[in-house]
Amino acid sequence: MPLDGTDRRLLSVLQRRGRISNADLAEAVNLSASACHRRVQRLETEGYIRGYVALLDARKIGVPATVFVEITLSTQADEVLEAFETAVSRIPDVLECHLTAGTADYILKVVAENTEDFARIHRQYLTRLPGVAQMQSSFALRTVCDTTALPV
């Protein structure tokens, strides 16, 4: 079922305030509490809402360094792509992995305590990924904007 304006308002509020009560959410989007609850349940059932999470502060958790790693594979054969994706999904320090079009085949977003910790991650995990021909790492110096909210 396509999203209407009310669904989009619900999703917008929930993205920014995931712990909002149903009563407050209903008021924010001008619905009754029961209608709001039904719509949110439908959005969950239909997969528009994948889940609810707590967003943690990387600095306070002890992994303030963000590193973007561009990876080029030796080949784009399906079995190599699948082996790489399976292996990279098991690395706890990799927050994101994207198959890309361009000079690199994949871009990873990795978090680390510092450069020494990234060296450990690189040595222990990244160099052992299957099919890797080339790897280039770039450390983020400062985060200019950071959001999980999609435009709805």
Q: What is the pLDDT of residues 88-119, one digit of tens each?
A: 999 999 999 999 999 999 999 999 999 999 99
User: pTM, whole model, 2 decimals?
Assistant: 0.90
CATH of segment(s) 5-45: 1.10.10.10
- CATH 3.30.70.920 domain range(s) in the chain: 58-139
Whether domain 58-139 has CATH 3.30.70.920: the reply is: yes
pLDDT tens-digit readout, 42-70: 999 999 999 999 999 999 999 999 999 99
DSSP secondary structure, the chain, as one string: ----HHHHHHHHHHHH-TT--HHHHHHHHT--HHHHHHHHHHHHHTTSS----PPP-HHHHT--EEEEEEEEES---HHHHHHHHHHHTT-TTEEEEEE-SSS-SEEEEEEESSHHHHHHHHHHTGGGSTTEEEEEEEE-S--S----PPP-
- CATH 1.10.10.10 domain range(s) in the chain: 5-45
pLDDT tens-digit readout, 139-152: 999 999 999 999 99
